[in-house]
Structure 1
Amino acid sequence: MNIKAGVVGATGYAGAELVRLLTGHPQAELAAISSVSFTGQALSDIYPAYYHICDLVCGTQEEVVEKSDVVFAALPHGLSQELAKTCYDAGKVFIDLGADFRLENEDDYKEWYGGTYLYKELHEQAVYALPELFREQIRGKKIIANPGCYTTAVPLALAPALRKGYIAAEGIIADCKSGVTGAGRKLTQNTHYPELNEGFSAYKVAAHRHTPEMEQSLSHVAGGAPVKLTFVPHLLPVNRGILATCYAKLQKEASLQEIRQAYEEQYGDEPFIRLLPEGRVADIKNVRYSNYCDISLHMDPRTNTFIAISAIDNMVKGAAGQAIQNMNLAFGLDETCGLMLTPPAF
């Protein structure tokens, strides 16, 4: 199988990362790319690292749809629904790295993103595609909502403990740190180098748009019981990485070894989840440029608190790598195809 892949929004960070990974995929061919800001320019002129690797010229969205079997949309929220409709009508697989298809409840989308569902029938067809939790729902789907970085790291850190009923569904705290690429390529005041360097601060405290998405995933894991969490993101002065430190109260007596057994049962055969040995702590430097999610488990018996820490590369497992993982599932390929990337040791 040789899948023709197209990337809309190829000059943003997530789009450029998709290009990097797709050029090394043994069963996919990068057929077309587009960019509103750089139409008519070669991608290698914008990212010189891609010189003689990807010299494709940025065309239009229409050209990407026409030439591709699968279209990846690396666009801001609110810009994917029309494109999804075009792809669906043309029989193409559509994988959205934005937020337009992630929330099941339109009222939540209105509240957190200020938008509406333009094509309700497409939202009914869409699948929320976090493979390690919802794999069987993804296979063969045409409209795929690719989770973001925080919304991958937090549910993966907590899912086995929540599914087995070891932790309470209320009072969960997700204390997360992100590399600056998570803010996108467009410069803002808080990502300007003099503001970011030698600093470390929280942002959108208890008001980040990823909150309902994480609660939605974890509520499904909990069998429909509503899960509520407090989410506080922080901006790290590094390029890549998400570190999610998640705190939850035990709701039944259990040792760390018993909870660990639940993680081994659920994740033991997962190719991209590495459950770290007891005593080791997840670290973003050990997952850079890879599709791995490292998880370490801890307990504070004094306060009856379970602590799960996950680390991912926000541009790979938190964006482009996971999107390709979902492409593999949608087309019936080996899920790991093109993604067995070894993180650099230093």
Structure 2
Amino acid sequence: MIKVGIIGTSSLTSGEIIKILLKHPRAKLAYLESENFAGKKVWEVHKFLKGVLDLNLKNFSEEEITENCSVTFISKQHNYASGISRNLIAKGVRVIDLSADFRLKDAEVYRKWYGIEHKDHALLKKAVYGLSELYSEKIKKALLVANPGCYPTSIILGCAPLFANSLVDPKETIVSSYSGVSGAGRIAKPGINLFMDSFRNLFPYNVATHRHTPEIEQELSIIGNTQVNLTFVPHVAPLDKGILSTMYLKPVKETSEDDLIKLYKKVYDQCPFIRVYENGNFPSTLNVVDTNFCDIGIKYDPKNSRIIVVSAIDNLIKGAAGQAVQNMNLMMGFDETEGLPSGKKV
């Protein structure tokens, strides 16, 4: 049984991590940090835990974490994890960071898109990008894992087989994604996640300027061994949870739907949380909410020479908490499905 800490316990994502870990057969919560709610019981912040978990929320204590935890999740604002992770790792604690601090390999790109200087350039280079379907062997050996963003998870998994096999033009990718309002977090953001903003409403935001863009381009460029550029347009949908991404890609040669689906099934055959749909079928958010699945459907449009890929995930589970626990499992030598909602048989 490993002991686990969470730094930034009040977030929606941390609430989901707690739900998962309470059912995990090999992990026990040992330390919960919250700078805003220190001194309160965790169930006073996450009401669903009343009568279930009675731990106190505490101020940050490096000493207490290193004495009591084998691994810790950091679910804080950007530029926080980069300031504390080095010392935790040096004292034997493995770190899974859910912010953007260690996702981008270039500190200058991080500064450009997030508007802040990175605090630890050297550690940035040692972090492993935590998309387990692609980097499981590296994650198993990692001391620091950068948990991917929610949109990048749905988009990279949806596109990876095409770029890995050089089947599409790296300069001709357009992505349109739709997210539930929980993607904006617990803090009220007028115009984005208030009820009056989202009820009976669907709208784009950060058109072609969303901060997940360089993360997606970075990983697809690595996968395809060439520079990938894409146009990314995210939207807020009148849903509480879920992401649906539709990707439009230009094939470099003629192909067929059957061949594409066979390729995807082969690539993801041993991935317990990837489900590839049959011809003519496409995913929906309803079928992935509260699961760690990423569902993928593929369409080939020969008339316009386009490959269309549709993916769906739960933004708080596969796009955050579930993926983080999947990474923890790999880091600690467990089966990657431990404690998570059932995956497919592989």
CA contact (8 A) 1:276 1:282 kept: yes
**CA distance in structure 1 between the partners assigned to 2:339 and 2:158 by the alignment:** 24
CA RMSD after TM alignment: 1.3
Read off the aligned partner of 1:214 and give its amino acid letter.
I
| Contact 2:114 2:211 (C-alpha < 8 Å) held by counterparts | yes
Q: TM-score, normalised by structure 2?
A: 0.96
Distance 1:253 1:342, change over 3 A: closer
Aligned counterpart, 2:324: 323
Residue 197 of structure 2 corresponds to residue 195 of structure 1: yes
Conservation of the 8 A alpha-carbon contact between 1:10 and 1:34 = yes
Q: Deviations over 1:201-220 (max 9, x none)?
A: 00000000000000011011
1:93-141 CA distances to partner (integer Å, 9 max, x unpaired)?
0100000000001111010012223222211221111011111111121
Which residues of structure 2 form unaligned runs of 5+? none
User: What pairs with 1:52-131 in structure 2 (closer than 5 Å)?
Assistant: 52-62=51-61, 63-131=64-132
Amino acid at match of 1:45: E
Secondary structure (helix, strand or coil) at the match of 2:169 reads coil
* Corresponding position of 2:284: 283
SS in 2 for 1:173: strand
Match of 2:219 in 1: 217
SS of residue paired to 1:170: strand
Task: Give me the whole-angstrom Cα distance separating, in 2, the residues matched to 1:170 and 1:134.
Answer: 24
Where do residues 292-307 of structure 1 align in structure 2 (5 Å cutoff)? 292-307=293-308
Q: Does 1:27 align with 2:29?
A: no
CA distance in 2, matches of 1:248, 1:157: 11
Secondary structure in structure 2 of the residue aligned to 1:81? helix
Query: Is 1:264 aligned to residue 265 of structure 2?
Result: yes
**In the alignment, what sits opposite 1:138?**
139
CA deviation digits over 1:1-47, x for unaligned, max 9?
x1101111111101111111111111000111111111111111222
1:149 corresponds to 2:146: no
For 2:120 and 2:92, the matched residues in 1 are separated by: 16
User: Are 2:38 and 1:49 equivalent residues in the alignment?
Assistant: no
Identity %: 38
Cα drift, residue 154 of structure 1:
0.1
1:51-104 Cα distance to aligned partner (Å, 9 max, x none) = 122221111221344321111000111111122122112110010000000000
**1:225 positional shift:** 0.2
Q: Which runs of 5+ in 1 are unaligned?
A: none
User: In the aligned structure 2, how far is the partner of 1:55 from the partner of 1:313?
Assistant: 27
Q: How does 1:224-263 map to 2 (within 5 A)?
A: 224-263=225-264
- Shift, 1:196, TM fit: 1.5
1:29 aligned partner, one-letter code: K
Query: Paired residue for 1:206?
Result: 208
The equivalent residue for 1:336 is 337
SS of 1:299's equivalent? strand
Q: Distance in 2 between matches of 1:182 and 1:277?
A: 29
**How far apart, in 1, do the equivalents of 2:259 and 2:137 lie?**
27
Does the 8 Å contact 1:65/1:71 carry over to 2?
Answer: no
TM-score normalised to structure 1 length: 0.96
Give, in angstroms, the shift of residue 340 of structure 1. 2.9
Alpha-carbon offset, residue 160 of structure 1? 0.7
One-letter identity of the residue aligned with 1:134:
Y
Any conservation in 1 of the 2:294–2:318 contact (CA below 8 Å)? yes
Write the distance in 1 (CA, Å) between the matches of 2:24 and 2:43.
Answer: 19
Post-superposition, which runs of at least 4 consecutive aligned residues in structure 1 deviate over 6 A?
Answer: none
Q: Do the aligned residues in 1 keep the contact of 2:89 with 2:144 (CA within 8 Å)? A: yes
- CA distance in structure 1 between the partners assigned to 2:2 and 2:174 by the alignment: 41
CA deviations on 1:238-276 (whole Å, 9 max, x unpaired) are 110010100001111111111112111100121000001
